[in-house]
Structure 1
Amino acid sequence: MTHAIPRNRAERRKGIADLCQKLTLVMCSLVLLGALDGMQAGFRTDKTMFCVVRGEETLVSGDLYIPPGEQGVRVHAEAENSAPGTNLDGYIRYSTTAPGLSMHFIEIKGRLWRGLLRVSDSAALGDARLDVFLRGCPPEELAPYHTVRIVPDRAALAASQLSLFRRIFGVEPWWVMLGAMPLAALCGLAVFREKGREMNRLLANGVAPIYKLARRGDHWEVVFGLGTNHGVREGDTLAILDRNLAPVGSLTAHTVQNEISHANVDMRTKIAPSFFVALRN
């Protein structure tokens, strides 16, 4: 007869551990999906394309083209070294092919500029060209430019997103990843602690997991977590329990150490790596 374990409490704790384990898998999957979605969208996104809803405004950024020559270098230095709160529209200019489109520049760091792109209710739908340049340095023919895609509503804006999370849920994939990571860690820690407590409860009742199950010719070699410290002696017969702790067979310990023991069992014996070994009263 094997040592008894309170079934209701054990099953309840096992249910909680299983739930946490499933939540961990879900959160880890979200972390992976968020990272993959963010990377594929980043690789495929055209950095020179701005998509905005007609009648709304959005923050945009881009690389400033600084033409060779004294004028461009001087104006760029003035803009970058201007006092906080300075109206940068006096240093950075723009031109566009779309009536109803306007820009207000709010920051410049090195070659990177940031600004507020506004589209009026009367602007025509479709693509328009946007050139950004320094004062006194009109855009050159080969200078890079931006394309502004004006869409009718937010549904069209969502449909244009390359990120699945942005397109379907309206959420940045990086926020999904960052939000899921701590939850995955917490659930994983809960599973680890519960598994540890469960193992301690099992050992206290004379039940231990199988550490190793290897085929050796005509028998299984079994290494399990009960030894002399738990009262096992060479030649002792112990019970084999399935993963639900139900008896399914027996084995005899032939080599016993402090914390582990070895046994050989017939190949026809019902046994698996997820099974347990228990002391007999």
Structure 2
Amino acid sequence: MNDLDKTLQLRSKIGKIAAVFCVLLSLAIIDTVVAGFRQSKTVFDALPGTSIDINGLAAETVGSTNDIVCTSTSDLIRISIDSIQKGYWFGSKMWQGRFIISPDIKEGDYSLVVGIKDIKIKKAPDKFLIRIYKDYESYRQSYKSLIKRYFDISPWYIGALFFLLSVLAFGYIFLLSGKIENLMADKGKALIYKVKKAQESCEIYFGLGNDHGVKTNSRINVFDDKGQASGTAVVHSATETDSIAYAESGCVVEPGYMVAVSKV
């Protein structure tokens, strides 16, 4: 097996690997998006002894964090309001804080209501549900992401990994394609990279030129993607590295077919 055949086989293998990487990248993205849609903004899963970042809408009449109050079905869950500031998108006031969960809390569902002290605004209080799990294994089953649930890895990390691998694979394919073009050119061969319809025939564009012995009026052979003879063409324009030829009558041509300056 010559160098050209080996390089073609290698490019084919890397292409299949790159396709697998792309599929896995797509699955990671889908898993992330679906998990985001499935995650409720008012239901939280947690373990004892942890905290949950939380925020909600306030109102212009709310002046300090002391105006935010919380009632809970358990004294072992309390809220800590860290700040009140303008929201990023619509400019409304928002409160930011944390639900702090005691290490002594038992497994179960707990309700919390966050409102405004002295009913300063006509706004329904925010209601939250916190589900406490007894251990990490049972907590993992609450993950909306299947990747994170079964492999305990963030789908963002998986997506970033396969994105990088895909870029590297396609970069390698690009380098191999350049090598293949050079090896083919050394043998007086090239792939047709463009086909353009003409009045009575079609123009074919390929990467062989004066440097490879191709000149105006040179006759070249055309082969299909299986290596079978498809017909001939006559060069009507040639540069040092590229040429344009007219396919002769009966010659079927498509991008990806091969041309050769002599019979093979």
When normalised by structure 1's length, the TM-score is 0.70
- The 2-side partners of 1:67 and 1:119 are apart by 33
2:232 corresponds, among 245, 251, 266, to 251
Deviation string for 1:105-137 (max 9, x for gaps)? 59557422135434647x253x32024568xx4
Look up the SS of the partner of 2:233 in the other structure. strand
- The 1-side partners of 2:8 and 2:233 are apart by 29
Alignment of 1:185-224 (within 5 A): 185-214=167-196, 221-224=203-206
Contact 1:66/1:73 (<8 A) preserved: no
Letter in 1 for 2:27: L
Q: Report the equivalent of 1:238.
A: 220
Alignment of 1:169-180 (within 5 A): 169-180=151-162
Q: Report the equivalent of 1:265.
A: 248
Structure 1 residue 117 corresponds to structure 2 residue 101: yes
Structure 1 residue 73 corresponds to structure 2 residue 63: yes
Contact 1:65/1:143 (<8 A) preserved: no
- The 1-side partners of 2:73 and 2:16 are apart by 54
Structure 1 residue 147 corresponds to structure 2 residue 122: no
Look up the SS of the partner of 1:12 in the other structure. helix
Moved over 6 A (4+): 138-141
Look up the SS of the partner of 1:73 in the other structure. coil
Q: Which runs of 5+ in 1 are unaligned?
A: 1-6, 78-91
Q: Report the equivalent of 1:82.
A: none
Q: Which runs of 5+ in 2 are unaligned?
A: 86-94
Contact 2:216/2:238 (<8 A) preserved: no
- The 1-side partners of 2:208 and 2:221 are apart by 12
Q: CA deviation at 1:260?
A: 0.8
- The 1-side partners of 2:218 and 2:58 are apart by 85
When normalised by structure 2's length, the TM-score is 0.74
Contact 1:128/1:147 (<8 A) preserved: yes
Structure 1 residue 97 corresponds to structure 2 residue 73: yes
Deviation string for 1:228-249 (max 9, x for gaps)? 34222344332334446x4524
- Residues 220 and 65 of structure 1: is their aligned pair in 2 closer, same or farther, counting only changes over 3 Å? closer
Q: Report the equivalent of 1:61.
A: 53
- Residues 28 and 59 of structure 1: is their aligned pair in 2 closer, same or farther, counting only changes over 3 Å? farther
Contact 1:52/1:119 (<8 A) preserved: no
- State the structure with bigger RCO (CA 8 A, min sep 6), 1 or 2: 1
Q: CA deviation at 1:76?
A: 4.8
Q: Report the equivalent of 1:161.
A: 143
2:16 corresponds, among 9, 17, 22, to 22
1:37 corresponds, among 31, 36, 48, to 31
- The 2-side partners of 1:112 and 1:182 are apart by 35
